[in-house]
Amino acid sequence: VQNLMHGDEEEESLQSYRLQNVGEQGHMALLGHSLAAYISVLDRERLRKLTSRILSDTTLWLCRLFRFENGSAYYHEDDREGLLKVCRLVIHSRYEDYTTEGFNVLYNKQPVIYISSAARAGLGQALCNQLGLPLSCMCRVPCNTMFGSQHQMDVALLDKLIKEDIDSGKLPILLVANAGTPGAGHTDKLGRLKELCEQHSMWLHVEGVNLATLALGYVSSSVLAATKCDSMTLTLGPWLGLPAVPAVTLYRHEDPSLSLVAGLTSSQAVEKLRALPLWLSLQYLGHDGIVERIKHSSQLSQRLLENLKNQDFIKTSVEDELSSPVVVFKFSPELSSIDHMLHSAQTPTITGNERYICDTFNQWLGEQLSQLVPASGVDLVELEDEGACVRFSPLMTSSVLGTEVQDVDQLVDCLKLKIPVLTCTLQLRDEFEQEVKRTVGLAYVEDLSWPGLGVVRYEGQNEDKQEKEVEKINNELLKKLNELESDLLFSLGPEFGGEKNCIYIGMVTEDLDVSELVETIAATGREIEENSRLLENMT
């Protein structure tokens, strides 16, 4: 195994490569897997007693921790598997003859599953494929655009969709709601959705990162409503920083024979042992340890949110200012406090290009922050309305990365340093374009996906140059520009998809004289061109 892992790597690189540091609690979880394999060779009676005990303990603890009364639990490796089995259960319980008649009963009255348009990509398709249902059984419910959060399911529209489906002879069976959408971490109006589901005898399944906060002493009422749903999926691995533990789907259902048919319970002892890594880990951490982890993550995001509130040019997209386990923010050029007062009457319209450049700058910001403060675990997320944003979701990362308060403070400090760079570059981009277009011998190249001042190509005095020559001059020019004593970064641009033979200029700081820079580029280019012409004449 060692050879397979490292292959033909040299001795030196072996030293620098280390596995993720697995602490004592990580060993606990990993030990569960090997123990389960050993336990499976016990005689049947002993095995049955032991597995039943482990299963009932773990299930009881999880139901108590996450306030889900009288629940059963299904443990699964792939976090979508639980929802899939729940769908099977619902189909079995809504179609009496399904066990014998199969797809014939579905054909006469098509089942419909409703999923939010803010759900994770590909979830609906994966469910249909696994259940053998046509994609027409999946209904995407749009999110609110008029009022409320842009990431919450539109309840009134959902009601309308359900009624339309019933009128056309279909059977609405299940709704998948979010307590923490995969993108921005917003929670659907679970209370109202539950009423709607009861009205049409539908099953309500909830998933999402905010469910972790159910373990805390104080839970926001929007998330607390999840405890009344029919099933929920919990991903304890990332929340508590446990390697290789299964996800859990808690559900309430009266008929054990149907749960067995649907695959939510198993008669196989080995299947039941899937809970063992959790059984060990939960005891190792203890109730207080678990709550402490989740509380720590919530405090980290709260701290970041507090710091971002009064930050110019930063726009946050959180639902609840008081407790939001996920913080999503972006650099927004039209958001300084002075501008706010001036522009309150006329709201600036954003053109397509401006939006594109804004996304480009936010992608750069996200990459910078994650490189400078890797322990923060920030990443980039692409949202439908807001475009590219930076996301901080400590529940999913902080236990694994060991994020501390000082990491959040460092993140805020880095952000404060980057904002002037962003605003300044953005303001000077237009000036740079104008200057280049005015200058003989230079060509301006528009590239909206380049995070920086802009892109320029030296084409020289006479137009009919061959590409080889242009390439040679621009490469030489790039060398010369990088030898100048300046804070600017000149490069050949992105590895893929960039323009050829161009000079890409990176981010700038405030004291840059654009006309002087453009003049320098043109003069240096001319000098190189004349020198090469001189050489040619001499030859």
Q: Is the pLDDT of residue 206 over 50?
A: yes
Domain match, 307 and 270 both: no
Domain match, 363 and 297 both: yes
Q: How confident is the model at residue 343 (pLDDT cuts 50, 70, 90)?
A: very low
Domain match, 138 and 190 both: yes
Domain match, 407 and 528 both: no
Q: Is the pLDDT of residue 200 over 90?
A: yes
Domain match, 206 and 63 both: yes
Closest CA to 119 of 189, 203, 208: 208
Give me the number of domains the chain comprises. 3
Please give the residue that has the higher pLDDT: either 176 or 17: 176
Distance, in Å, from the CA atom of 500 to the CA atom of 467, rounded to the nearest integer, reads 10
pLDDT in tens, 97-151: 999 999 999 998 999 999 999 999 899 999 999 999 999 999 999 998 666 667 8
Q: How confident is the model at residue 339 (pLDDT cuts 50, 70, 90)?
A: very low
Does 517 map to a domain? yes
Does 434 map to a domain? no
Q: Is the pLDDT of residue 199 over 70?
A: yes
Strand 171-178, strand 138-141: pairing: unpaired
Count CB neighbours of 214 within 10 A: 19
Instruction: For residue 307, give the CATH number of its domain.
Output: 3.90.1150.170
Among 281, 301, 318, the domain-final residue is: 281
Does 8 map to a domain? no
Domain match, 156 and 199 both: yes
Closest CA to 476 of 455, 497, 506, 503: 503
Distance, in Å, from the CA atom of 39 to the CA atom of 425, rounded to the nearest integer, reads 63
Domain match, 99 and 248 both: yes
Element (H, E) at 430: helix 405-438
Q: How confident is the model at residue 321 (pLDDT cuts 50, 70, 90)?
A: low
- Going from the C-alpha of 88 to that of each of 59, 259, 325, the distances in angstroms are 21, 9, 32
Range of the domain at 381: 290-334+352-421
Does 472 map to a domain? yes
Does 188 map to a domain? yes
Domain match, 108 and 77 both: yes
Distance, in Å, from the CA atom of 330 to the CA atom of 363, rounded to the nearest integer, reads 9
Which are the contacts of 532, defined by CB distance < 8 A and separation ≥ 6? 469, 472, 473
Does 190 map to a domain? yes
Q: What is the model's pLDDT at position 341?
A: 38
Domain match, 261 and 296 both: no
pLDDT in tens, 357-390: 999 999 999 999 999 999 999 999 998 888 999 9
Domain match, 115 and 233 both: yes
Q: Is the pLDDT of residue 349 over 70?
A: no
Does 18 map to a domain? no
Domain match, 270 and 300 both: no
Does 4 map to a domain? no
The reply to whether the predicted model has a pTM over 0.85 is yes
